[in-house]
Amino acid sequence: MCALSLFVADIHQASAQANATYDFNIPAKRRLSALADFTAATGIQVVRPGAGAIGGTSQAVSGQYSAETALRAILAGSGLNYRFTGSRTVAIEAQGGDAGGGDGGLAPGEGIALDTIDVRGAGDGIGRGGVSEVNVTSADLERRNANDIRAVFRGEPRITVGSSLPMSQKVYVQGIEETNLAVSIDGSRQNNKVFHHNATTIIDPSLLKAVRVDAGVAPADAGPGALGGAIAYETKDVADLLAKDGLGGFLKTTYNFNSNTSTNNLAVYGRQNGFEALGSFNFAKGSEFTSGNGQEVLGTETNFVSGLGKFAYQSTDGHRFEISHEQLRDDATRPFRANALQIISGTATPPVRPYTLDRQNTVFTYTDTSPVGWWDPKFVLAYNRSKAAVDQYTGATLDTYSYTSEGITDSFNGKMENKFALSIGDVVTGVDFYRDGAEYIDRTYRTAEKANNLGAYAQARLTPLERTKLSFGMRGDYQNFEGVNGFSSSDQGLSGNVSGEYELTSFLIAKAGYSHVWAGVPLAENYVQNPAWNYGDGPKSVTSDNYTAGFVVPYEAFRFEAGVFQTEIDNARVPLYKPVTLALRAFDVQTRGFNLSAAYNWGDGFARVRFARTDAEIDGQPANTYLGQYLTAPIGDVLTFEVAHTFTQWNLTVGADVEIVFDYDKLLNPVTGIGKIEGYEVANAFVEYRPPSLSSLTLRGEVKNIFDATYAARGTYGLEYGTGVVRPLYETGRTALVSTKIDF
């Protein structure tokens, strides 16, 4: 009886160990090495009962996860399952055994331990991006219950998202607007400079599983055009939702009481004998929301639909083929200029007008999940397209409708690369290309700019010494540019990066990085293209220099980080519609600042505090949002707090976050005399419950903007002009949301 009690207690401890959360920072690497890193992060010993190699490469696992979630990610595509066999042991076995659990099979402690491996892991370098990487994990996305891109990055003060409308939200990384970054979705380069009143990369967060941001210094294999870094969005795969062969799905419904908006997400997925299929559909419909001052914000109704389809096949020897298609549409009446409630000028316009924004992204990918020796290939071929259709008027009412104009950007792009595994790391080499277009269709004319680019790159991620990690790379690009009136030019350039970290002591790590980037000529926004432009000798290629340095103090469950950064972009092109040479208008942009963060993880929860200061200049003067379109914005000081805890005995999770944005008191607009942007404080909280009797059901309630603050998010257009010139888009006031999710 005593032995039985001990065994039952051990099983309960194993379950608790599996559900506890840990901080992981395991890059994509050899699966055996990734399991060693898993043990280092959790203290859970991995055992292997019986023979059989553990080979192949695991996907990256970075962020806060339970042990089970991390193991599923590491073992995805390997043909292996896991079983918790005790409070500190987990067994890896071939498929056919029960995955997860811990209530059967081997007795605790049984099995053969894996060979001892350096837990630093040969070849992990410093992650994919290096010293300035920001990761938004699936756990972050679930906890934040994001319904727009601003919520995706909540709690990350180095990343600013302006506007309260998803279709006009722009992302700034350390002050640099996203069209100066290498932005990709599932490996597909995005080309979304459609209309300066619209978003540049609108995406449905319900489809995302993770986001990786290389802030400032980006690796060569992040893609061309990484002037201020890179953003990589990754959508969900079947392996993220289903641990083994079978069928599954979920239905999630969220209701927003502020705007009476209902959001419904249905997903169905399955896998069998190497085949995988996933379909997801999301639909949201609602009214205009109310801001903190009690007023409805004109043009903020919700009418949004998106979908994701994926099909994949993985052979028994590891060859994986996947094709995915993602599409969304935002179609509603918006403020006349969709990134501001009102711009007061001498021209009479309707207060609102219809906008339709469509985006689609199709990607084919081939990888080898069980690479042998130096053969670890990846092939990507992709096409994406964004279209903004905007009604035009001759007077101040909708009755004066004249015609509908369209702006279309697209990109056909791809890459072919191979990862060479070395004893001290790995080297990725490859070639990539893009064919980007930007077209405007008016009532009486059409214009277009095009750019073709061919690049070659190599990036090494090495651990040359026991306490040293080093990443360095180079890429060369050749670009051909075509203007609206038959003008053409070509140019080429080199980009390079180097970053590293050194473990000074067991609790102090120093790190630094630098990159120089050549990005060619960026295409003009569709809606400013003018057939009368004179390109003269042609636009100059844009270049940048990025610097970063800092240190990390990891001590048991505590982690402290500090860093400084600076980005300088030369000849950043932002043309105007006016004729003659304004097609060549360009600026020099500089952002600089520092960031601090501290985090503590106690197993069933965590607490984080982060601070970032970002100052931006355009041609040596403080930035404003008019000159800064597609470049930068005044941001200043941002402080965030996040805390969450899971009461495992009740299956209950509670959490809260606070964002404090301080006054920005630099002179921003000499014309209006506005010298300060007011700060604000916003608090949010949630509670999530999974009934023990119905584990497939998740219930969630949350309150956003608890104290009903009246504010416009930093980075929103027109904040520095004063309400007599620009009335910015306010954020939602106090908002209650309820969500239900049922898995089947």
Q: How confident is residue 193, by pLDDT bands cut at 50, 70 and 90?
A: confident
Highest-pLDDT range among 125-139, 365-379, 386-400: 386-400
Residue 5 burial (CB count, 10 A):
9
Whether 668 has a pLDDT exceeding 70, the answer reads: no
Mean pLDDT of 512-520: 97
Q: Which structural domains are found in the chain, ordered by start?
A: 2-94 (3.55.50.30), 133-233 (2.170.130.10), 234-743 (2.40.170.20)
Mean pLDDT of 514-537: 94
Whether 669 has a pLDDT exceeding 80, the answer reads: no
Q: What is the secondary structure of 164-208 as a DSSP string? A: SSGGG-EEEETTEEGGGSEEEETTEEP-----TTS-SS---GGGE
Q: Are 171 and 383 in contact (CB under 8 A)?
A: no
Q: Are 666 and 684 in contact (CB under 8 A)?
A: no
Q: Which residue do the tokens 């927003």 mark?
A: 256
Q: How confident is residue 722, by pLDDT bands cut at 50, 70 and 90?
A: confident
Question: Phi first, then psi: what are they for 708, rounded to 5°?
Answer: 55, 45
Mean pLDDT of 230-254: 91
Q: How confident is residue 51, by pLDDT bands cut at 50, 70 and 90?
A: very low
Q: How confident is residue 104, by pLDDT bands cut at 50, 70 and 90?
A: very low
pLDDT in tens, 262-304: 999 999 999 999 999 999 999 999 999 999 999 999 999 999 9
Whether 11 has a pLDDT exceeding 80, the answer reads: no
Contacts of 142 (CB under 8 A, 6+ apart): none
Burial class (CB in 10 A: 0-12, 13-18, 19+), 291: buried
Supply the mean pLDDT for the chain.
Answer: 86
Q: Are 265 and 252 in contact (CB under 8 A)?
A: yes
How does DSSP classify residue 337? S
Q: Are 320 and 366 in contact (CB under 8 A)?
A: yes
675 compared with 238, residue with greater pLDDT: 238
Q: How confident is residue 32, by pLDDT bands cut at 50, 70 and 90?
A: confident
Lowest mean pLDDT, pick from 662-666, 680-684, 702-706: 662-666
Residue type, 542: V
Contacts of 380 (CB under 8 A, 6+ apart): 187, 188, 363, 364, 365, 366, 414, 415, 416
Whether 455 has a pLDDT exceeding 70, the answer reads: yes
Pairing state of beta strands 89-94 and 45-47?
A: parallel
Mean pLDDT of 638-663: 94
345 compared with 150, residue with greater pLDDT: 150
Short-list 21, 12, 2, CA closest to 108? 12
Q: How confident is residue 507, by pLDDT bands cut at 50, 70 and 90?
A: confident
pLDDT at 601: 86
Lowest mean pLDDT, pick from 84-93, 139-148, 345-354: 84-93
pLDDT at 83: 75
Q: Is 19 strand, coil or helix?
A: helix
- CA–CA separation, 618 vs 605, rounded Å? 42
Q: How confident is residue 100, by pLDDT bands cut at 50, 70 and 90?
A: very low
Q: Is 536 strand, coil or helix?
A: coil
The pair of three-digit structure tokens given for residue 123, joined into one six-digit string: 């070849």
pLDDT at 86: 58
Lowest mean pLDDT, pick from 152-156, 552-556, 699-703: 552-556
Q: How confident is residue 578, by pLDDT bands cut at 50, 70 and 90?
A: confident
Contacts 24+ apart (CB under 8 A), 621-626: 622/666, 622/667, 622/668, 623/175, 623/589, 623/668, 624/668, 624/669, 624/720, 624/721, 625/162, 625/716, 625/717, 625/718, 625/719, 625/720, 626/721
Whether 581 has a pLDDT exceeding 50, the answer reads: yes
Lowest mean pLDDT, pick from 159-173, 304-318, 718-732: 718-732
721 compared with 416, residue with greater pLDDT: 416
Lowest mean pLDDT, pick from 78-82, 175-179, 232-236: 78-82
Q: How confident is residue 147, by pLDDT bands cut at 50, 70 and 90?
A: confident
Q: Which residue do the tokens 């608890």 mark?
A: 706
The percent of residues in the chain predicted with pLDDT above 90, rounded, is: 63
Contacts of 391 (CB under 8 A, 6+ apart): 353, 354, 355, 401, 403, 404
Q: How confident is residue 85, by pLDDT bands cut at 50, 70 and 90?
A: low
pLDDT at 672: 54
Q: Are 291 and 271 in contact (CB under 8 A)?
A: no
Q: How confident is residue 674, by pLDDT bands cut at 50, 70 and 90?
A: low
Q: What is the secondary structure of 558-609 as a DSSP string? A: EEEEEEEEEEEEEEEE---SSSBTGGG-EEEEEEEEEEEEEEEE-SSEEEEE
The pair of three-digit structure tokens given for residue 604, joined into one six-digit string: 């069933």
Mean pLDDT of 659-682: 79
Q: Are 314 and 277 in contact (CB under 8 A)?
A: no
Mean pLDDT of 622-648: 92
Short-list 215, 183, 225, 211, CA closest to 565? 215
Whether 89 has a pLDDT exceeding 60, the answer reads: yes
